[in-house]
């Protein structure tokens, strides 16, 4: 007889006299909603927004610690999905020819349509 059958003897028709060692079981269910921070990374050429594909972006917390890195898609789209608590975060482009930074304040679970514009490093 398993311990669960003995602990719940009435449901499993096990004898009420079954010997059982007391066991404490604690189930903790923590549901954390993920936060999505998304947008597009572009560079301007002759007043035209050109998507930066396959560019590396980092998201940092207020202390400057890198939380996640992503690469942009062909159209410059990026998306950070994680458990980000309310607060300020810094998005930063990692590139040898261009620079871009954007400060984001997380107040809700979805931040969309951000536009990061990269500038040439001189």
Listed in sequence order, the DSSP H helices in the chain are: 3-7, 9-12
In this model, does residue 30 exceed pLDDT 60? Answer: no
Greater pLDDT, 8 or 80: 80
Query: Do both 25 and 70 map to the same domain?
Result: no
- Residue 50 shares a structural domain with residue 24: no
20 and 39 belong to one structural domain:
no
Domain match, 65 and 100 both? yes
- The residue among 82, 87, 80, 79 whose CA lies nearest residue 63 is 87
**SS3 of the chain: helix, strand, coil, percent, to 5:** 5, 50, 45
Look at residue 47 and tell me whether its pLDDT is greater than 50. Answer: yes
Instruction: Supply the DSSP string of 54-87, one letter for each residue.
Output: T-EEEEE-TT--EEEEEE--TTSEEEEEE---SE
Considering the domain architecture, whether residues 5 and 41 belong to the same structural domain is answered as no
Domain count, the chain: 2
64/14 same-domain check: no
- Residue 74 shares a structural domain with residue 42: yes
Q: Which domain holds residue 20?
A: 1-30
Each residue's pLDDT tens digit, 52-68 = 999 999 999 999 999 99
Q: Same structural domain for residues 58 and 76? A: yes
pTM attached to this predicted model: 0.66
* CATH value at residue 93: 2.60.40.10
Q: Are 22 and 63 in a shared domain?
A: no
Proportion of the chain above pLDDT 90, given as a percent: 34
């Amino acid at each position: 007889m398993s311990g669960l059958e003995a602990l719940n003897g009435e449901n499993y028709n096990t004898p009420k006299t079954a010997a059982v060692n007391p066991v404490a079981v604690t189930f903790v269910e923590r549901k954390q909603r993920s936060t999505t921070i998304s947008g597009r990374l572009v560079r301007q050429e002759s007043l035209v927004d050109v998507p930066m594909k396959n560019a590396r972006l980092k998201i940092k917390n207020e202390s400057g610690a890198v939380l996640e890195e992503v690469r942009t898609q062909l159209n410059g789209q990026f998306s950070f999905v994680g458990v980000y608590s309310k607060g300020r975060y810094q998005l930063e482009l990692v590139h040898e020819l261009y620079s871009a930074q954007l400060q984001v304040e997380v107040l809700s679970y979805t931040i969309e349509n951000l536009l990061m514009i990269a500038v040439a490093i001189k």
